[in-house]
Structure formats: structure tokens, C-alpha cells
Structure 1
Amino acid sequence: MLHRISLVVLLCMLASPAQGVFLEPDQSLKIPVGWTNTGRVAPSDEVTLTFALKQQHVNKLKDLVGRVSNPKSPQYGHFLSLDEVMSLVQPSGNTLSTVRSWLERHGVRECETVQTRDFLHCRTSANIAERLLPGSEFHRFMKGGESVVRSSTPYTVSEELASHIDFVGGLHRFPSQRKVLSRAWDKHRPRRADFHLGVTPSILRERYNLSASDIGAHPNNSQACAQFLEQYFHPADLSEFMQLFGRGFLHHSKVDQVVGQQGGGRAGLEASLDVEYIMSTGANISTWVFSNQGRHESQEPFLEWMMLLSNMSSLPWVHTVSYGDDEDSLSVAFMQRINVEFMKAAARGLTVLFASGDDGAGCKEVAKGKNIFRPSFPAS
């Protein structure tokens, strides 16, 4: 009798496909307002997938960040190099070989990694990606002139792979919604740059008690801002802004380095504000701009920026980011891994500042007359 039962179980196992594992079971699949599904992509269309490989010694990293960041610790300020961070967190040899072999068996060979070896950025066709990640189904979504390719259904991986991958990027998360700043003031006034706009660099410096001598003086000072969602600053706009509003303190009128590509056309409101005001308050400091175009249909620009930090040994010390997603639009696996990426940056001595958003605690209507708080990530 026992032998008969075992045989039946074995036959059932052979007849049924292996049960896949959902790496992001809580990831929202709701299509954001404004996006329209225009149908499945062609099987040969290219998609880009980002595999976040399991890291080692995350608890050690967390403990180390606490010690190098605490002024009372003997290790305060003893930051790690990128190579030292890599030695601590890089995936095990087993993880690297298992994932690589799996990808190659499916014909995925166009992959790039980062210096810490914990991400794989791979290009393949949609039909191979759907075989690679059972359950996925790639569609093209349009919003105005913007296009993204995403899976409208959840993906799975085999149990063998689940212990080696935190999540796969390029499947579900849509570009964050941009909020339009109010321009009510210029409905009733001429558009001139020399009248009182409300908050100018001189007013900010006065509010924070910054005198003309409160500027960057050390040659090692450096700062950066990251731009997403097709927002770009314009060098000529920055130069004109500093001519108009940079009086009374020493400042730079040009950024020192742009990482990535700048789009053409007019300057974006958000990107211009970020660059012009960081260079006015953090005055006379070498400034970089990380430009993440966001036009590549399968990319997640924020994730691309995080990978850049893991792939550059020399970076500015302070980074400011005016970017955020609604927390309930992200999976826990994604947010936990991004938090580890922040720890990697902190272990190297980098400071990352995020905009807190324009909505206070945020608000989401869950039923008529019933609302809940809606925090943003990463700021909250």
C-alpha cells in the first residue's frame, strides 16, 4: 500500500510543473492612472531585467554602518573603500555560478554586473524572459509620449533560484508620478526673473544664518544631485540663474561632472531647482549631476542610479534626490534591498538626502469617506 501511494505521488509530481516561488508576492500590479495597456510586445522585442543577487554578511554591514557613523565609536569616520564593501557583501560563489548557469541555459548571455557583483543587468527577448520567469507576460504601456514595457502578471522563479535572488527589476514598477508645482503667481504678474519670487537663494541663506563666509572652502568638498523621469538641467539656465541670484556669496556657475546623458530641449522645472539651489546653499562646492534618462522602456531609473553607486569608486560625499514612490506601490523585498544599498553607501561615508514629499504624511482614499496615511519611499 505504501509503495502504491508513493508511486501515485511520484506520477503526480512528474505530471505537474514545479511550483514557482513568488519573490515579490506583495508587489502591486495595479496600473497607475494615466497609463494605457496597448497590448503584448512582440516575442522578439528586447526587454531588460535586473537581478538583485543575494548578498552576504548584511548584518555585519548594518553593525559596521552604526559604528563608522557614531561619533562616540572608536571606528567613527573609518569608512570602507568600494573594494572593501565588495569583499563584505558580494554574493557567494554558489549564488554567482547558480544564477549564471540558469541564465545561460535559457540563452541569456548579454549581462553586465557591478563592482560589488550583487546585480546582474541583462538584455534578452520578451519570449525568453517569459520562459525564464514563469507567470510573466510583457505588455507595452503608454502615457502621453512615454512608453514602458512591464509584465501585467506576477513572475515566479524556481525554488532553486529563490534562495539566490532578492527580486527581479524591470517587470512591475512604473515610473513615479511627477507632481506639477503651482505656478499661480505668474498668472497675474509678468514673467520677469528680477522681481521677488518668494524664496530665492539669498532668502534661504538668510533664514539659515549663512554669511558670505559660509561657503565650501575645503578642496575635498563635493556634492551631487540625481535626476530622473526625463528631467534635465540646462547649463545656460544655471549660469543665468547664478548671475541673477548668486550675488553676495562665492559660488560656482557650472557643474563639474555629468554622469549619464542630458536630454535636449528646455530645462526641467524640478531638475533646475535641484541643481540651482544645492549650488546656492552648498555654495562654492564641486557639484555633480547624475542624469538618469528613464526613456529606456524596461529600466527602473531609480534602480539604475543605485547600481551606479555600486559601480563607482570615486563619488561626491553628499547626494540629494528629489524622488519618491508611494510606499504601497513597492514590494517589501524591493524596499529591504534598497535599504541595504543605502547601508553600502553609508559604509563608504556617503550621505544621501531624500525629499520628504509635498504631501505631509500623504493620503489615500480606500473607500468613500475613508482615508489612510500614504507614506513615500525612501523618504519615510
Structure 2
Amino acid sequence: GKFLTLEELRELVQPSMATLLVVLKWLQGHGVERCRSVTTRDFLECHMPARVAEELLPGAEFQRYVKGQQSVVRSPRPYSVPEELEGHLDFVGGLHRFPAERRVLSRAWGDTGQPGGGGGGGGGRVGFHLGVTPSVLRQRYNMTGGDVGMVPNNSQACAQFLEQYFHQADLAEFMQLFGKSFPHLSQVERVVGHQGRGKAGLEASLDVEYIMSTGANISTWVFSNAGRHESQEPFLAWLLLLSNMSSLPWVHSVSYGDDEDSLSLSYLQRVNAEFMKAAARGLTILFASGDAGAGCRRVAGGNHTFRPSFPASRWVEVAVEGLLGTGG
């Protein structure tokens, strides 16, 4: 099909001159000058003191809330915008919602195949095995040693969040151990964003090593996205970064997601718009939908309901799921 260049996409989605003038007049009238836009000109990110934000958004009263190591600035009160902005303003984020509490579930499997390990009251030694290696996956998908990237302009990328980073040295060692049966690359071509120091993250290492094992011998980028959105992945910031880059890999893989009901509707709609912009450019984005089928919200009394995973629930990208099966 015929896809749009970034410049053609800008012509399609950029706001009218009237909208730009109204919004800029509103911001500059309150002394807001520290703003940055994206190439498509349909998003502004502005920095200002809380006092100025309260003047911009009448009714808002910003306070700092601290819990443990977390600190956020939010307004407990509703806000309004001037009537002249009606029809020009689409999304205002980061005002009301508090970060969702994240619980880490750790599970170790012992020799008996049951949680807790060992079958001896939880005191047994947990056993581990290599499990699914690249050769297992390639065999499962009927891939031979010749099923690798051969076209120079093939490209792929994966995105990392939540302070997860990979190490090039780990990737090279992984390929030395598990990539002997197929041609492969041992280095990521480009890292976009900040790579933190310290130990490599499990999720980041897994994503990079396995996309370069199944999509072997293909130029690979890694988008390393720092920061959080309400303690969760800053998907919108990552998509805005893509909106500012004219040359990108065609395929993007993301192994992260949030409960859809943990995010505001306006945020979901804005992220959805960015996905549509990416699709218009011909980008294919694969999102993990979880490892346990349809999500479930457990309610007291047993009236459990479905709990969709975002962004896999969106219709503008491809959702991919892995299921953990147990032998009968």
C-alpha cells in the first residue's frame, strides 16, 4: 500500500492556523514560553510553575503528594478552560489521576512443578532450567538456518520502559551461546534514549535477545524510554518521539502493558490518535497482551469481570499473546 511520509502526515493532521493562534495566545498571555511541539504540530508539551498552571486552568489547586519514595503534583479539584478554546483543545494530561499501586508477583517453581518449590513445606531448593531457547522457538515456527533477514533495508525495533536496560556485552554473549545454528547480528544498531547504568534488566535483555534471534540478521534499534506516566509506562512520550523521527524501523515490538481501567479516557484517546498516525506511516506495532489470556478483575462475591490490557486492546496495533500451558 501507499503510506505517508512524516511530512505528508503533518499536512493531514496539523491544526489549523486559527487553532494555533488561539492556543498560543492563551499560553503566551500567561507567560508560558517553555513549550516544545512535534513535527506534526498537533501536540504541545509545556513547562511552568504550579501557580501559572492554576491561572491557565481556573479551579485547579495543585498540591504535592508524597507516599514512600513517590512524589507527585496533582489537583484534587476540577478545572476549566476559557470558552474560546472550545474546539481547539483536545487533551490536557497529568492533573488529577494518582499513580496506580503496582504489586510485584514473584513465583518460583520447584521439582514438583508446584509454587513454593520442593514440595517440602516451601523449604526445598528451587530448580531452574534453560527452558525456551532461540533454537526451540525457531524449530516451533519451522524456521531453518536460512530463514534470516537478507534484505539490507529490513529493520525492526523494540521499546523498553520502567527503567529496564540491556547491555551490548550480554547480547553478544547470548548470541555466542545460542545463535550458532543461524546467521545473526550480535550488536544493536542504534539505541534511542538514555541507557541507564548498573545491572541489565530481565525484560529488556529478553526482548532484545529474542527479537534478534527470531528476526535474525536484521538491523535492530532499541528505544529506551525513561520516566513514568502515573507510575506506569510513558507510552505517549514514546509515540511522540516516533512522531519526531522521519526515518524509523518498520516493525516495533513492545512487551509492556497496563490495565485499561487504570488510565484516563482522554489519555487512551490521545495515545490511540498517535497509533493511527504511526499506522498511516506504514509502521507495524506489536504489543504483548499478557501471558494468561483475557485479563480479569476479581470482585468480592465472585462476580468477576474482564479487564482488558492496554494498549493491546486498541484496534490500531497487533496484539500478541503467549499462553503458559501445563501438561495433563
* Distance across 2 between alignment mates of 1:108 and 1:299: 28
2:304 is paired with a residue of what secondary structure?
A: strand
- Please show how residues 1-380 of structure 1 align to structure 2 within 5 Å: 77-142=1-66, 145-171=69-95, 172=97, 174=99, 177=102, 180=105, 182-184=107-109, 188=125, 196-294=129-227, 301-380=234-313
* Distance across 2 between alignment mates of 1:278 and 1:153: 45
2:90 is paired with a residue of what secondary structure?
A: strand
* Distance across 2 between alignment mates of 1:322 and 1:339: 18
* Distance across 1 between alignment mates of 2:244 and 2:11: 14
* Distance across 1 between alignment mates of 2:233 and 2:127: 39
* Distance across 2 between alignment mates of 1:292 and 1:190: 34
* Distance across 1 between alignment mates of 2:271 and 2:296: 24
Give the number of the structure whose alpha-carbon radius of gyration is greater: 1
* Distance across 2 between alignment mates of 1:214 and 1:373: 39
| 1:170-205 deviations in Å (ceiling 9; x for gaps) | 3336379475564436974677xxxx4111111011
* Distance across 2 between alignment mates of 1:358 and 1:152: 36
Structure 1 letter corresponding to 2:13:
V
Change (3 A) 1:216 1:130: same
Q: Of the two structures, which has the highest relative contact order with CA contacts closer than 8 Å and spacing of 6 or more?
A: 1
Change (3 A) 1:211 1:141: farther
Number of residue pairs aligned between Structure 1 and Structure 2: 300
* Distance across 1 between alignment mates of 2:65 and 2:177: 42
Distance apart, 1:143 and its partner CA: 6.0
Structure 2 letter corresponding to 1:326:
D
| 1:117-141 deviations in Å (ceiling 9; x for gaps) | 0110111111211222234343445
RMSD of equivalent CA atoms: 2.6
* Distance across 2 between alignment mates of 1:81 and 1:175: 37
Check whether the contact 2:109–2:126 (CA below 8 A) recurs between aligned residues.
no
- TM-score (norm. length: structure 1): 0.72
Distance apart, 1:274 and its partner CA: 0.9
Distance apart, 1:358 and its partner CA: 2.9
Check whether the contact 2:261–2:307 (CA below 8 A) recurs between aligned residues.
yes
Distance apart, 1:326 and its partner CA: 1.3
| 1:98-156 deviations in Å (ceiling 9; x for gaps) | 11111111111100001000110111111211222234343445565454434444443
| 1:324-370 deviations in Å (ceiling 9; x for gaps) | 22111223332223222112111111100000123421111344332
Change (3 A) 1:352 1:141: farther
Structure 2 letter corresponding to 1:339:
N
Check whether the contact 1:170–1:299 (CA below 8 A) recurs between aligned residues.
no
2:244 is paired with a residue of what secondary structure?
A: coil
Change (3 A) 1:299 1:321: closer
Change (3 A) 1:324 1:296: closer
Check whether the contact 1:252–1:285 (CA below 8 A) recurs between aligned residues.
yes
Check whether the contact 1:201–1:281 (CA below 8 A) recurs between aligned residues.
yes
Query: Which structure carries more helix by proportion?
Result: 1
Change (3 A) 1:113 1:301: same
Aligned-residue sequence identity (percent) comes to 68
Change (3 A) 1:314 1:102: same
Change (3 A) 1:162 1:200: farther
| 1:268-324 deviations in Å (ceiling 9; x for gaps) | 111111111111111111111111111699997211101011110000000011122
* Distance across 1 between alignment mates of 2:205 and 2:72: 25
* Distance across 1 between alignment mates of 2:167 and 2:159: 14
* Distance across 1 between alignment mates of 2:173 and 2:66: 36
* Distance across 1 between alignment mates of 2:41 and 2:205: 34
Structure 2 letter corresponding to 1:158:
P
Unpaired stretches in structure 1, ≥5 consecutive residues = 1-76
Instruction: Please identify, of 152-161 and 220-229, the stretch whose mean Cα deviation from structure 2 is larger.
Output: 152-161
1:218 is paired with a residue of what secondary structure?
A: coil
Query: Which structure carries more strand by proportion?
Result: 1
* Distance across 2 between alignment mates of 1:140 and 1:269: 33
